[in-house]
Structure 1
Amino acid sequence: MEEERRWEDMDTDCLVNIFRRLGLEDLTLAVPSVCRSWYRASLDPTCWRVLKFRGLDFMPWSNLSKEFSNRYGLPGRFSFSGFLKFCVARTHGEAIEVELPLLFGATLNDLTYISLECPKLKKAVLPNLQTEDEPHLPEIIGRWHELEQLEMECKPSSFQELVDQLRQNCTKLVSLKLYGSFKNDDVSAIVSKLPKIKSLCLSKSYLPKDKLLEILTGCKCLHELIVKDCIGFEADEEVSKRVSLSGIKIFEHEGSKLVDEFGYETDECDPFYVQVI
């Protein structure tokens, strides 16, 4: 009887095709431990083109932190920055997607490192930065000339400058997702400087009805608009008519309302500081 073929004898291209579908925890801990051929295959940059850090547990007592430190003989305490640099180094500049965690979030130095070492990014999912670091975001994001999708936790204070960078350097951008307070200048910047945007998600934002209508009218290429759980508008007859005329295929607005549960129409008054006399 013909001897059964062993896993470690599989063709390297087949192994790479399998490994590129795995998450970072498997790539760093499980796969390299099996055999030398699997370890060699896991070093192929193709396996590291998608770097999804979100969803991993980076707490010092987590299995990932402890096992990674033990396997690679890390001196001192495990750090997210160290793990990030380890993974980015494996990409050899070929990464096309990065998704950073919310907690244990990336620092300004981490984002700068990624922007320099991963110039071919097509999708970036970024956490909040410290307020004092936000002015650096436009320069960082502007380095990704191939960027098509950008997701951020909230609208940064440097939003106007960010949109300028997207217009000048990220000409392939078609999808933008973030939340915050969108007023006259913000919406005007999206409409005038990102005319080719196809997918826009502003859920959980402050978005007045007139600004929503401006987006519907001004963004000619838009085919998906997600504005769920917003404050500032209701999807009335006028909005529905404008959506119909715009040609948008996907319009999600569930949970959006004109005022919040405290009765405020804008974001200018914090209900927690209102005294009832």
Structure 2
Amino acid sequence: MEDGERNWEDMEIDCLVNIFCKVGLDDLAVSLPLVCRSWSAAAGDALCWKALDFRDLDFMPWSSFSKAFTARFFVPRFSFSGFLKLAVRRSSGGAAELRLPQIASMEDLVLASNECPRLKILSLPKLTLDDEARIPDLIAKWKDLQRLEIESKPSNFFELAAEIAGNCRVFSDLAMPCSSIKKEDASAIATSLNKLRSLDLSRSYLPRAELLVILGECRGLERLSVKSCLGFEADEEVKGKAAAIRIFEHEGTKMEGDSGYCTDECDDLEVHVI
């Protein structure tokens, strides 16, 4: 090494932490800690584990990450629950973002509700009917929750919306694509979630009447995505109601008769999606 040059391991820990905050959880867990002591210390810093995004990782037993994880922590087989516990422990209660993969269980979500009290962003996979029943009680624990992403509307959405309204005072963003929005669902949004700033119902069954209810009550919306929805067309009345919304995405919307679906068929579709 020439005079004046520095090794990576000589960097200040704060600088390493700022860099490592931008890498994936897989590298934080099994790759970076093996380089040197300073890298290991930085990779274990709670700030690096503030955003827990597990969605794009490969958890198959034969994946390179699963093999590296089992070797690194001397466990006989990979367990997502074990990885989640590690991530939650390293976050030291400061995790602000949690995005769970489809492999996650209700027990994993319960763990997160107990150990990650400061969540601001939560992304949930598709849920079973039994799991849906437990979601409102868990959501109520995250007082700082601002954004919820959920794959298709849960069957108890009215209850969920009420819990959010009563407990999550800064909640502002809801993403619930591929849903069947009925009269009671539009009412729940208009009544309990009328302070939303962002709402994503793209690729949903959304009748015109329900859309107008939402537009009439959610007057603080800054972004509304209803792209590729079935049940309405963006006519002059709809555009007029949405005129104050800064970003109104409505491309690809169709009336029911344009696709061959009827209301009952969309309801049946929702059951399978959930």
What's the TM-score, normalizing by structure 2? 0.93
Which residue identity lines up with residue 73 of structure 2 in the other structure?
A: Y
Aligned to 1:147, the other structure's residue is in SS state coil
Q: How far apart, in 1, do the equivalents of 2:189 and 2:158 lie?
A: 9
2:116 to 115, 118, 121: 118
Question: Contact 1:124 / 1:151 at 8 angstroms: preserved in 2?
Answer: yes
1:261 Cα deviation from its structure 2 partner: 5.7
Q: How far apart, in 2, do the equivalents of 1:85 and 1:267 lie?
A: 43
Which residue identity lines up with residue 60 of structure 1 in the other structure?
A: P
Output one character per residue of 1:250-269: Cα deviation in whole Å (capped at 9) or x when no partner. Answer: 11111110126652342446
Which residue identity lines up with residue 235 of structure 1 in the other structure?
A: A
Which residue identity lines up with residue 137 of structure 1 in the other structure?
A: I
Identify the residue that residue 222 of structure 1 maps to in structure 2. 221
Q: How far apart, in 2, do the equivalents of 1:35 and 1:205 lie?
A: 50
Q: How far apart, in 2, do the equivalents of 1:224 and 1:133 lie?
A: 29
Q: How far apart, in 1, do the equivalents of 2:160 and 2:69 lie?
A: 36
Identify the residue that residue 275 of structure 1 maps to in structure 2. none
Identify the residue that residue 16 of structure 1 maps to in structure 2. 17
Identify the residue that residue 51 of structure 1 maps to in structure 2. 52
Question: Contact 1:206 / 1:267 at 8 angstroms: preserved in 2?
Answer: no
Identify the residue that residue 101 of structure 1 maps to in structure 2. 101
Question: Contact 2:165 / 2:192 at 8 angstroms: preserved in 1?
Answer: yes
Identify the residue that residue 39 of structure 1 maps to in structure 2. 40
User: Is 1:140 matched with 2:134?
Assistant: no
2:176 to 172, 178, 185: 178
Identify the residue that residue 261 of structure 2 maps to in structure 1. 264
Q: How far apart, in 1, do the equivalents of 2:258 and 2:59 lie?
A: 37
5+ unaligned residues in a row in structure 1: which ranges?
273-277
Which residue identity lines up with residue 78 of structure 1 in the other structure?
A: F
Q: How far apart, in 2, do the equivalents of 1:269 and 1:138 lie?
A: 25
Aligned to 2:204, the other structure's residue is in SS state coil
RMSD, aligned α-carbons: 1.6
Question: Contact 2:205 / 2:266 at 8 angstroms: preserved in 1?
Answer: no
Q: How far apart, in 1, do the equivalents of 2:137 and 2:267 lie?
A: 32
Identify the residue that residue 89 of structure 1 maps to in structure 2. 89
Instruction: Call closer, same or farther: CA 1:260–1:270 in 2, change over 3 Å.
Output: farther
Q: How far apart, in 2, do the equivalents of 1:48 and 1:201 lie?
A: 27
Aligned to 2:123, the other structure's residue is in SS state strand
Q: How far apart, in 2, do the equivalents of 1:64 and 1:237 lie?
A: 52
Q: How far apart, in 1, do the equivalents of 2:156 and 2:25 lie?
A: 32
Counting matched residue pairs gives: 267
Q: How far apart, in 2, do the equivalents of 1:59 and 1:10 lie?
A: 35
Output one character per residue of 1:183-228: Cα deviation in whole Å (capped at 9) or x when no partner. Answer: 1111111111112100000011111001111111110111111001
Q: How far apart, in 2, do the equivalents of 1:271 and 1:158 lie?
A: 16
Mean CA deviation greater in 77-86 or 119-128: 77-86
Which residue identity lines up with residue 28 of structure 2 in the other structure?
A: L
Q: How far apart, in 1, do the equivalents of 2:239 and 2:147 lie?
A: 27
User: Is 1:234 matched with 2:264?
Assistant: no
Question: Contact 2:228 / 2:250 at 8 angstroms: preserved in 1?
Answer: yes
User: Is 1:197 matched with 2:192?
Assistant: no
What's the TM-score, normalizing by structure 1? 0.92
Q: How far apart, in 2, do the equivalents of 1:183 and 1:242 lie?
A: 19
Identify the residue that residue 272 of structure 2 maps to in structure 1. none
Output one character per residue of 1:57-98: Cα deviation in whole Å (capped at 9) or x when no partner. Answer: 0011101101110111013x2111111111111101000001
Q: How far apart, in 2, do the equivalents of 1:83 and 1:20 lie?
A: 18
Q: How far apart, in 1, do the equivalents of 2:79 and 2:7 lie?
A: 37
Aligned to 2:31, the other structure's residue is in SS state helix
Q: How far apart, in 2, do the equivalents of 1:225 and 1:91 lie?
A: 33
Q: Percent identity?
A: 51
User: Is 1:250 matched with 2:247?
Assistant: yes
Aligned to 2:256, the other structure's residue is in SS state coil
Which residue identity lines up with residue 94 of structure 2 in the other structure?
A: E
